[in-house]
Structure 1
């Protein structure tokens, strides 16, 4: 795309035409959609693994429910990105997908939040017995939620790219805004999850079938639905999209179907991209166990609670949500600092390798905190475990905060390297989209691997979360070593643009 003085482009008849300058506030309100999306993601990560166990799914099987995220990320996100590029709706290319994704998210959170009530109304027993119908409703809602979230994120980022119109400064600002609002959404979601009495704001949420923990979860998702609805309406109203009319490729031929392009990209991957895929895959094998079980670890290993106990497990989950909120604060500040640090070091692979060692140390430290919690465990006169002392809680929360540093790099550097390696290859920068699609597979396939195996690993070693965390620590160390030793330094002197 040629540079012009304009910062936005109207796409019509397959061509890019200069449009009026996009106001900064316009990009702010579109970026704010990330807060609505991420608020729901934060609730999903912090509350849903404990919730499925409250419904009656054993800990060793709970990870299988999370397979939807990797599967939908592998299929839905690339497809939605491809078809939104070629969408000829009169409402624009991105807005129909954003509205459709938001509608599905709202439907999903209603199913998840009211699963226990719907299950009881259709025959589930009250009490601590397994609730089969509620589990089915929850799983359906959970899978819809993951599909819808993947349907939302790609078009939202693409819309910001459209509004930037190829202007490098606008693009950097748009991505900074998007990352900032992701952190805002995380903080809001984790804060809501950490509130023990949020259900009092929605008195109808507490029912015979839905206890206090369930009512709090339901209230969180009601807030999530309202926030996403408002941010979506504002974003699609402010976005000035021009309908796109497809035009045949030069020479009269049709474009190769999406999967043909993806397979072609695999066949022609340059060596730097292959190494990048390996390092990224190891990095996500490290991350996903913690993302999956962080609040459950806090509730079980640190607080000593059990599902359906006298409330200690719930207190641990809320403490884990607080840790995730603090992690998001670190993530927000670190996201702004990533590009500056990369420029200071002069080599992004050294930065990525270094923070992978921080990730490895953080994951390994969960063992020390767990042992300290176990050795200092106190009990009341009835023999019930009491919450851990302040030093143990501080140590656990410190791990959450420290991991915010490598998380910021994980969310930026791999995607930037994929774009740089693509622009330096024979295909040129026009293949950057496909390179990012291929990179996404190096993220979702490890997540599927972890989802399948982490439950059996943990069951084999007594039902805790530490085995998966140790595997993650080893994988993070391997990723750091390969990043420093094998990843080639980008040849170009182009500025690093954080996606």
Structure 2
């Protein structure tokens, strides 16, 4: 019989209450989403301002799905087998965050860096574009390292009954990070900070994002203690690079039925979300300047990139506020997956308990909530081509905050439960280090006596220990099974494959639409940062981004059907 993985230590999270522990565990996602929000808000208009057409800019965004497709599954498998004394996830999170911070600074100062080495204007322009695109690729590849490990850390640390709660908290933290990003992006930071962080809004946002990400990852890394992998499973211990790739490919092709169904629902949903996330800021800004700003006012603009970013960020601030509110309230209104086995019911804050109590009798399960969210997103984005004012465009973007909140936790909650069920099945039989008869114990200061550090009240311990002779029934055992996280990296990596592949599809669709409707004109040599040639301000021509959003709405309807079928798969 193959030997199971062997571990040392017990996962723990600092904090005096469950809410505090969950917040600390997922706090890294605040900085992560802040960085994503900054990139999505400013990088598209930044590239357009440098001289790229929309069709070429859409191809640049292959960086996101390409990095996710390659990096997240690969780093998931590598981290799964890491035997670092600091744990399997945190070293990658910390190192990756510093790489992201460096690449963000380079992205913000591409023009200055190039001018230092290249003096010829035309050559400097081309090199600046190349460096900016390269920096975006570097940011996307390195931030996917951080993201993969942040998500896997949640699955590693929490037992099955807390998987939905952990995913819900992750969704809240993502929404908070996004909200902070858009709030800061909607104000004139240059007038507040002067030139201390740079002389343009874009430069200052890259610096703030870099500091925010490093700080958030540091908080989570300090607050969470991981178990240390001593010995991997026999089948994993001698795997090299080729074996890793082979395992990823084999796992993707041989997914368990429910995990495969979850992945396909995610695939179709993300064809719809991709254009929304990457182009909504530019879309709202273009709508505003196309229909509501006179040519005289346009000619007075000195930082058009900052203007578009602020207008778009203001609408996305409303979107993120709704996302945060939805992320906090909706998990209490939705039944967690597999309730018959986990018996876990989240406790709402006292202030909203009375209002939510009446809803518990009719609250939908998570699968139904996910289905409704996809229909809601589709019904909203179908109206995108009809938006001829900033107010209406902002309204459409804001409404999408509700489905985005659900999509931020639903697939990960489903995956967390399914991954840990697989771990339970793979380790049945009481193999050393992992057994199906394990308990989860939250030990207070009175029961922790192993060391001085263990006497701190604010430490939660999730013990993974044998319980030989336990006569509890199968249902009770299932509800007490802790998360081993042994399979978290690879299966979350596979989920990410199904999240990134549709982004290639979305990029291809966007490229076709932009090529046909807005081929664009290259800026003249006399054009400067205040010019608006990179925006389509012709009221008589269709807005290409609106068409991309409409196509995404159609894909969301397909995702809704895939989610509906999830109920019938066992």
TM class by smaller structure:
0.7 to 0.9
CA deviation profile, 1:126-176 (whole Å, cap 9, x unmatched): 7x9982121122122111111111111222233344444x3734x555444
- Residue equivalent to 1:106: 101
Cα gap change, 1:112 to 1:80, in 2 (>3 Å): same
Structure 1 gaps of 5+ residues are 1-11, 208-214, 374-391, 492-499
Q: CA RMSD for the aligned pairs?
A: 3.2
| 8 Å CA contact retained: 2:82, 2:88 | yes
Trace 1:167-178 onto structure 2 (pairs within 5 A).
Answer: 168-169=161-162, 171-178=163-170
Aligned with 1:61 (options 16, 35, 56): 56
Task: State the partner residue of 1:133.
Answer: 127
The residue aligned with 1:284 is 270
1: CA distance, partners of 2:262 / 2:225 = 36
Q: Could you say which residue in structure 1 is the equivalent of 2:220?
A: 235
> Residues 459-498 of structure 1 correspond to what in structure 2 (within 5 A)?
459-462=515-518, 464-484=544-564, 486-489=565-568
Residues 189-244 of structure 1: per-residue CA shift (max 9 Å, x gap): 1112212343651415556xxxxxxx111011111222223333333333334543
| Kept in 1: contact 2:385–2:547 (CA 8 A) | no
TM-score (norm 2): 0.70
CA apart distance, 1:286:
1.0
Q: Kindly indicate whether the alpha-carbon contact (under 8 Å) linking 1:124 and 1:134 is maintained by their aligned counterparts in 2.
A: no
> Is 1:146 matched with 2:140?
yes
Cα 1:31–1:419 shift into 2, 3 Å: closer
**Does residue 186 of structure 1 match 2:178?**
yes
Q: Which has the higher contact order (CA 8 A, sep 6+)?
A: 2
Indicate the SS of the match to 1:244.
strand
Distance 1:264 1:292 in 2: 31
Structure-to-structure mapping, 1:364-443, within 5 angstroms: 364-369=382-387, 373=388, 392-420=389-417, 428=425, 434-443=490-499
2:229 aligns with 244
**Equivalents in 2 of 1:27, 1:320: separation in Å?**
31
Distance change >3 Å, CA 237–CA 474, structure 1 → 2: closer
Match of 1:15, SS?
strand
Give the structure 1 partner of residue 83 of structure 2. Answer: 88
- Aligned 8 A contact 2:13 2:21 in 1: no
Structure 1-normalised TM-score? 0.79
Does the 8 A contact of 2:11 with 2:225 survive in 1? no
CA displacement at 1:27 relative to structure 2: 5.1
1:242 to 1:199, Cα distance in 2 relative to 1, 3 A: farther
Match among 483, 500, 512 for residue 456 of structure 1: 512
Distance 1:400 1:234 in 2: 31
Q: Residue 198 of structure 1 aligns with which residue?
A: 190
CA distance in 1, matches of 2:363, 2:22: 31
- Structure 2: state its 5+ residue gaps: 336-361, 427-485, 520-543
Task: Tell me the secondary structure at the aligned position of residue 552 of structure 2.
Answer: helix
Alignment match of 2:251 (pick from 257, 260, 265): 265
Deviations 1:232-283 (A, max 9, x none): 3333333334543234528x97469333332332343344444433332221
Question: Cα distance, 1:187 vs. partner?
Answer: 1.2
In the alignment, is the contact (CA less than 8 A) between 1:359 and 1:476 conserved in 2?
yes
- SS of the aligned residue for 1:317 comes to helix
SS of the equivalent of 2:225 reads: coil
Q: CA deviation digits over 1:300-333, x for unaligned, max 9? A: 2332189x96536753431211111211111112
Change (3 A) 1:144 1:22: same
Report 1:32-47 matches (<5 A): 32-47=27-42
Q: CA 1:474–1:133 in 2, change beyond 3 Å: closer, same or farther?
A: same
Distance in 2 (CA, whole Å) between partners of 1:37 and 1:161 is: 18
Equivalences, count = 446
Q: Cα–Cα, structure 1 residues 300 and 74, in superposed 2: closer, same or farther, change >3 Å?
A: same
Residues 1:218 and 1:490: Cα distance change in structure 2 (over 3 Å)? same
| Cα 1:173–1:477 shift into 2, 3 Å | closer
The SS at the match of 2:231 is coil
Given that 2:261 and 2:566 are in contact with CA atoms closer than 8 Å, whether structure 1 keeps it comes out as yes
Q: Which has the larger radius of gyration?
A: 2
State whether residues 94 and 214 of structure 2, in contact with CA within 8 Å, keep that contact through their aligned partners in structure 1.
no
8 A Cα contact 1:363 1:469, kept in partner: yes
Question: C-alpha separation between the residues in 1 aligned to 2:313 and 2:326?
Answer: 20
Is the 8 Å Cα contact of residues 160 and 416 (structure 2) preserved in structure 1?
no
Q: Is the 8 A contact 2:378 2:552 kept in 1?
A: yes
Change (3 A) 1:405 1:22: same
